Amino acid sequence: MTHRLPLLRPSTLGPGQRALHEEITGGPRAAGPQPFALTDAEGRLHGPFNAMLLSPALGGALQSLGTAIRYASHLTPRIWETAILVVATAWDSAFERHAHERTGAAVGLTEPWTTRGTRSSEPPSANAPCSNSPPWSATTAHWPSSYGSSRWTRHRHPRRP
């Protein structure tokens, strides 16, 4: 997987960055089984967590919000992972797909939900043969195709005419 930003080594972090790094790697995201690694062998954070270090005040707020939504809300893990996969597809986020296809499978989402839902431009059918799948209709209200192609392009790329 390629990285848009250089991965920051823990040894080069300032005090605010180091505190945020420790919060991410020592918090609930790091507890229990991990379908994907938060860090590489050198301790550098993957995905959005690395970007959060560039502005520790903003990154800390995002980290806290994400932790509260994921670990302190009433959303089930399957609903949470489905929502993440829908957004990852809409924004073509390779890291989120990579991380959450595995996480989704670990919480019981089956193949059409973890792969088809993240690799195609359309969500899986609500009638897909997945007896343990959450209802897709709850997550499709903002699927890009519902915008119409020109409206979606303007929404996703606001500077394009």
pTM of the complete model beyond 0.75: no
Q: What is the mean pLDDT of residues 51-55?
A: 96
Domain extent listing, the chain:
10-72, 77-156
Reading the block at residue 11, the tokens are 């040894």
Contact predicate 106/34, CB 8 Å: no
For 86-117, the pLDDT digits (tens) are 888 778 888 888 888 888 888 888 765 555 54
Grouping H, G, I as helix, E, B as strand and the rest as coil, residue 39 is: strand
Q: What is the DSSP letter of 59?
A: H
Sign of the dihedral through C-alpha 145, 62, 32, 8? positive
Question: What pLDDT shows up at residue 115?
Answer: 59
For 120-148, the pLDDT digits (tens) are 555 554 444 443 444 444 444 444 454 44
